[in-house]
Amino acid sequence: MFGGVFIKNKAMCKYLAILGLLIVILVNCMELYSGESLFAIDTNNMLSFNSFNLVFITVAMVCTLIFFLLSGSDIEKVGANVSEYFALIFFVLCGVCLAATFNTLLILFIGIEIISIPLYILTGSDKRNLKSNEAALKYFLMGAFSTGIMLMGIAFLYGGNPEGSFYISSLNAGQGKMPVMIAIGLVFMLIAMSFKVSAVPFHFWTPDVYDGAPAVFTSFMATIVKIGGFIAFIRLFENSFGSVQPQWQLLIAIITAATLFIGNLTAVFQQSVKRMLAYSSIAQAGFMLLSIFALNEAAKEGLILYAAAYSLATIGLFAILIKMEDYTIEGFNGLGKKQPVLAVTATVFLLSLTGIPLTAGFQSKFYMLMAAVRDGHHQWLVIFAVLCAAISAYYYFKIIQAMFFKEVSLNTTSNNLLLASAETTSTFRGLLIFIAILIIVLGLFPWLLTDWLHYQ
């Protein structure tokens, strides 16, 4: 389950990585299915494995697997140190697992750091590119800052709780008003976690970093890392601060609304698809924040579903984007004619991100809205969220329009498309179709995923 797989052989590393990941997923599923743990490792109750965490880890790993399969060859193109890239990604994955299973604040901190540090390196992995370097530095400075805030938050929580322990459950005591120390700690944790999931107003690093990093790693960051941040977020807030939810709910509501609003509105004005996806990932984070706002059964099911739906669609979109030379929306003009498979699958992904029925994206948005409505407080947020979802249709559909209804302009773009057509192999197209089908199947039968939560 803690896959820090080191691979020496450069040519083989991709296949080895895929194989290693497959084994880990298999073990994970077996544990999930049998309902008892296969390895009895004494972690001093610092890690907890329940069905929610395990399902989540499985989702993250399956997404990584698909990511490897789709973009593995593109990782090889980024630079010379291929095996390092894979190793770093596995480190991140290990961090995601820790973030999904932590039981004490210390493990949470370690998990978040294991996620972050390799990412700083990956962002800057395109060493010759100034933009990539700038992004890495920016990310590192901002990330270090948020780490500091998180540590301070942990210190406050440690000092403030009567039992004086790092276990998150010990924080969850009593219904009454929070002590000041705990309250300060909570706000600090909130800021740090918001930074990690790029919620407004802590989102400023996101567009630059996503834009500057090599597109393959952006794809990874925007999906698996982001949902990893969310799982930590919801687990922390549910287990530590669940009983005092009314006291911080308004804060989350405001952050959610701001995230939805800024993310969607800014995405509308982007010309580069890569940058647009960065803003759209902020907007989607806003929807996922609804689960933390609501913190109920539907919210947890919804978050899992959302994580899967969002990651699959985004990974697929990025895989297609990488094949394009021109990252602007005009670069997509006429794709429907040149590359019908790419265009049709991209349409499914975009529809899923918009939340059109029959796709997993609809089901996940639906669960989120339901969770928020069920919560019963701050109902304006729900209306606000759907209006923002309507805005998101605007920019997602601009790409669909470009692909199908616009002709290729007669400059360099047409050459790029020709280039693209040479690069896509039939395996690549087959995988895209597979993801699209997976999205539709999840859209029709979301219980294929959510029912796993009821096994234990």
Partner 1 sequence: MLGNFITLPHLLIFFPLIAGVIAFFIKSDSGVRGWSVLASLLTLAVSLSTLIYKDNLELNGLAYNYEWLKYMGASFSVSLDGLGRVLTFLTAFSFPVILIATYRNVYPRSNVFYGLMLLSQAGLMGVFLATDALLFYFFWELALIPVYFLCSRWGGERRIAATFKFFIYTFTASLLMLVGIIYVYLHTAGTPFSDHSFSIQAFHTASLTPTQQSWLFWLFFVAFAVKMPVFPFHTWQPDTYEQSPTAVTMVLSGIMVKMGVFGLIRWVLPIFPAAVLQFENVVIGLSVVGMIYASLIAIRQDDLKRLVAYSSIAHIGLISAAVFTRQQVALEGVMIQMFSHGVNIIGLWIVIDVIEKKLGVRKISQLNGIAHRAPVLTIILVIIALANIALPLTNAFVGEFMMFTGLFKFNGWYAAFAGLSIILAAVYTLGMIQKIFYGETNELTAEMSDISFNQKLVLGLLVLAIFFAGIYPQPFFEITKDSVAAIVTRFK
Give residues in contact with partner 1 (CB under 8 A).
351, 356-358, 362, 366, 369-370, 373-374, 382-383, 386-387, 389-390, 393-394, 397, 401, 404-405, 446-447, 450-451, 454
Q: What is the dihedral of CA 380, 203, 271, 287, to 10 degrees?
A: -30
Nearer to partner 1 by Cβ, of 117 and 433: the residue is: 433
The CA distance from 63 to 318, in Å, is: 13
Q: Under 8 Å CB-to-CB from 149, ≥6 apart: which residues?
A: 188, 191, 192, 195
Nearer to partner 1 by Cβ, of 188 and 362: the residue is: 362
The nearest distance, CB 266 to partner 1, in angstroms, is 18
Q: What is the DSSP string of 264-302?
A: HHHHHT-SBHHHHHHHHHHHHHHHHHHHHHH-SHHHHHH
Closest alpha carbon to 193 in 240, 228, 245: 228
Rg value, the chain, Cα: 21
The CA distance from 405 to 409, in Å, is: 12
- Longest pairwise C-alpha distance within the chain: 70
Our separate counts of H helices and E strands in the chain read 19, 0
Closest alpha carbon to 99 in 223, 233, 214: 233
Nearer to partner 1 by Cβ, of 6 and 269: the residue is: 269
Residue 214 per-residue DSSP state: -
Residue with tokens 């961090």: 95
Nearer to partner 1 by Cβ, of 32 and 389: the residue is: 389
Q: Under 8 Å CB-to-CB from 453, ≥6 apart: which residues?
A: 51, 52, 55, 300, 301, 304
The nearest distance, CB 359 to partner 1, in angstroms, is 10
The nearest distance, CB 88 to partner 1, in angstroms, is 39
Nearer to partner 1 by Cβ, of 177 and 374: the residue is: 374
Nearer to partner 1 by Cβ, of 119 and 329: the residue is: 329
The CA distance from 287 to 381, in Å, is: 10
The nearest distance, CB 453 to partner 1, in angstroms, is 10
Nearer to partner 1 by Cβ, of 42 and 407: the residue is: 407
The tokens for 211 are: 């834009």
By the 8 A CB rule, do 357 and 349 touch? Answer: no
Q: 177 in helix, strand or coil?
A: coil
Nearer to partner 1 by Cβ, of 101 and 364: the residue is: 364
The nearest distance, CB 264 to partner 1, in angstroms, is 13
Nearer to partner 1 by Cβ, of 234 and 453: the residue is: 453
The nearest distance, CB 203 to partner 1, in angstroms, is 24
The tokens for 326 are: 């021109």
Residue 453 per-residue DSSP state: G
The CA distance from 223 to 308, in Å, is: 9
Nearer to partner 1 by Cβ, of 145 and 366: the residue is: 366
Nearer to partner 1 by Cβ, of 143 and 286: the residue is: 286
The CA distance from 123 to 209, in Å, is: 7
Distance from the Cα of residue 81 to its chain's centroid: 25
Provide φ and ψ at 135, rounded to 5°. -60, -45
Please give the single-letter amino acid code of residue 124: G
